[in-house]
């Protein structure tokens, strides 16, 4: 099983996900998209599985800090993709890629169900 966890290391939710994976014996590659960036193909693959409104964190400070015109321009997966690539911190974290299956966010029960 190939597991990649995308996020930023100082995010509390990412920390919880990393801890859960380690405590349950799942080795995951961590991809810090602030430092390592995010490839268009990777983000596009996420959007093929997950609705853009799930991936774009409209409750976060990054979204709230965007000008209203920039927020209003995000209306579909294409415009969300452009925003996610230009401002990775707008992406809801963490994004877990488990053998190509994408999950967004972290909840103990959610991860437990994935690794049954």
What DSSP character marks residue 90?
G
Residues contacting 99, CB < 8 A, separation 6+: 1, 2, 3
DSSP string for residues in 18-70:
HHHHHHTT---EEEETTTS---HHHHHHHHHHS-HHHHB-TTSHHHHHS-HHH
State yes or no: is 98 an active-site residue. no
- 3, 11, 50, 85: which is the annotated catalytic residue? 11
Residues marked active site are found at 11
């Amino acid at each position: 099983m190939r597991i990649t966890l995308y996020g930023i290391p100082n995010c509390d939710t990412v920390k919880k996900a990393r801890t859960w994976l380690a405590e349950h014996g799942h080795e995951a590659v961590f991809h810090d998209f602030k430092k390592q960036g995010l490839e268009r193909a990777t983000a596009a693959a996420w959007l093929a599985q997950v609705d853009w409104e799930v991936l774009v964190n409209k409750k976060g400070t990054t979204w709230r800090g965007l000008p209203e015109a920039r927020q209003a321009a995000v209306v579909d997966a294409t415009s969300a993709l452009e925003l996610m690539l230009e401002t990775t911190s707008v992406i809801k974290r963490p994004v877990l890629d488990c053998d190509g299956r994408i999950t967004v966010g972290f909840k103990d029960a959610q991860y437990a169900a994935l690794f049954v």
